[in-house]
Chain A
Amino acid sequence: MTVRLGDNSLGYIIDRVDVGILVVTETLDVVLWNRFMEANSKVLATSIVGKNLLDYFPELPGQWLDKKVRSVQLLNNFAFTSWQQRPYLFQFKHHRPITGGVTHMYQNCTFIPFEGSGGESLVCITLFDVTDTAISHREVLQAHADLEELSHRDALTGVYNRRFMEAELHKEFKRVERYGGKLSVLFLDLDFFKRVNDTYGHQAGDKVLIEVTQRISDVVRATDYVARYGGEEFAIILPETDIAGALIFANRVREVIEKTPVLYEEHALSVTASLGLSEYREGIESYDALLDQSDKALYMAKKQGRNRVACY
């Protein structure tokens, strides 16, 4: 025995399928409005069928919709809209009020042209709820951004790492090389840091690094880049700063490190830093050379007795 669908079966399926389905004429009069549309819009089929869609939903992009429906009929071709470009056609609430963090239902729509029984040009519009997809997509983008940010950071101190700092310095270097401007690079190395580690242990050393980083971060400008270059060595990029300005800044940094001892358990650890400074001048070939100059200046500061700033 063959099972057959009843007369009303297709109508029932269209009504109950978990997709918004509506049919409109070329003047946007509603011909069909299924249960999904009723439930989400709170407008019943019995009220809207035979009426103009825009009268009930004046917030719809009328001109665009009109053009879309006409183009679908004219070309006799399906058309689509995606949530990525047009988040929704109908402004419906979504069904994830707790977990969503979004304000509306994201929709993908398809426009399907066909002929009515009397030869009328009709367009069926289907609406798919893609809120879940949109939320996942946003979460992936966020995770991606978080990972990227993490990959720029030093795990212990939270300032930039060497790789990111060198990439940024490279860009800054290109910028002043091409357009002119000022650029200084500061190297900072904590004095006798090994003694802290040897005497009080590595946790004490870590505490000193974190504290010193915090103090440096408190005095830099938002446009400067602080990076842990390695071990107890830090580099600070100072865009739009000449050597005179950088010297004032370097001495402030030196002072805030020296002024207050770092507290670790019951110990007050005196910390000082040596700093080497150089600025971009025409003819310097690469950012490496600039780093190298600052490193040489740092070496001079160490040699001259530490806890001081030296300029290249």
Chain B
Amino acid sequence: MKTESLNEEENEILQEVINIGMGQAGASLAKLLDVFVNLSVPRVSWVNDDDFVVKVGELVAGSDDSWAGVRQAFYNQLEGEAFVLYGTNGCGQLADLMGYDNNEGMAQEELLLDVTNILIGACLVGVAQQVDKEIDFAAPTLVGLDKPIDDLLYSRDREWDQCLLIEVNFHLEATNFACHLVMLMSEGSIEQLRSGLLSFMESY
């Protein structure tokens, strides 16, 4: 049985919950880097597995030619996988801010993993807390560097057919760093999320 996506009302609450989550992620990043972080209001949408690659492609089209992708699995009551996509041009400037030595060979990769971990951790922990669900994280891994978007998203076997797309741009003071966050969740998690959203709403 295919899980229905959330209805309009539930989506509105989800949008609100994610706004708060991303706000926390932005605040975390600002605290860590000690710079101002401006972030766009997250655009939240659902796509089916079939047009996942196409939709994500449309979402990021034009903003960059090549991308770096990092994935991180989360599990427990909310389970799924999150991707963060970074335009190659934008992420070069972060290393200094994060205290990485640029001469270190793997610094760029490790930096992307760290930033991803912070963004996904802050955002999803924020969401999970609001909907009162447990969440844990596996270590992030690099999917690819400097690749066209299709190469990063292509997967032989995607198990889940509902993907939650969250598009958000982070702009750091004096840099033009932007990224896109994409999340895939299991059907069970979407049910958990739905029940969590409803109690979140009732508590207001």
A: residues with CB less than 8 A from B are 63-64, 67, 71, 74-75, 77-82, 84-86, 108, 110
Contacts and interface: CB of A to CB of B under 8 A. Distances in A.
Interface in B87-115: 98-101, 106, 109-110, 113-114
A85 B108 CA distance: 9
B109 A85 contact: yes
B32 A82 contact: no
Contact of B140 (A63, A67, A80): A80
A75 B110 contact: no
A114 B94 CA distance: 27
Contacts of B32: 71, 74-75
A82 B71 CA distance: 13
Given A85-B106, A85-B110, A108 B139 contact: yes
B52 to A, nearest CB: 26
B76 to A, nearest CB: 13
A75 B88 CA distance: 26
A81 B98 CA distance: 15
A79 B99 CA distance: 15
Contact of A75 (B121, B140, B141): B121
B31 A77 contact: no
Contacts of B118: 71, 75, 77
Contacts of A84: 106, 109, 141-142
Among A77, A81, A86, A108, chain B packs the most CB atoms within 10 A around the CB of A77
A84 B109 CA distance: 9
B143 to A, nearest CB: 12
Contact of A64 (B99, B117, B122, B139): B99
B125 interface: yes
B46 interface: no
Contact of A74 (B31, B125, B141): B31
B15 interface: no
B139 A77 contact: no
A78 B121 contact: yes
A155 B182 CA distance: 46
Contact of B28 (A67, A75, A78): A75
Given A64-B99, A82-B139, A108-B139, A77 B28 contact: yes
A223 B99 CA distance: 43
Contacts, number: 48
A78 B74 CA distance: 12
Contact of B139 (A67, A71, A74, A110): A110
B113 A82 contact: yes
Contacts of B137: 78
Interface residues of B, number: 22
A172 B180 CA distance: 38
Nearest to A87: B106
Contact of B110 (A78, A86, A110): A86
A85 B113 contact: yes
Contacts of B113: 80, 82, 85
Contacts of A75: 28, 31-32, 118, 121-122
A75 B114 CA distance: 12
Contacts of A71: 32, 118
B117 A80 contact: yes
A80 B28 CA distance: 17
Nearest to B32: A71
A292 B100 CA distance: 55
Nearest to A67: B99
15 contacts: A63-B99, A64-B99, A74-B31, A74-B32, A75-B118, A77-B118, A77-B121, A78-B117, A80-B113, A80-B139, A80-B140, A82-B139, A82-B141, A84-B141, A85-B109
B114 A79 contact: yes
Contact of B125 (A67, A77, A85, A110): A77
A80 to B, nearest CB: 4
Contacts of A108: 139
B191 to A, nearest CB: 26
Contacts of A77: 28, 117-118, 121-122, 125
Interface string B119-144: 00110010000000000010111100
A79 B28 CA distance: 13
B68 to A, nearest CB: 13
B31 A81 contact: no
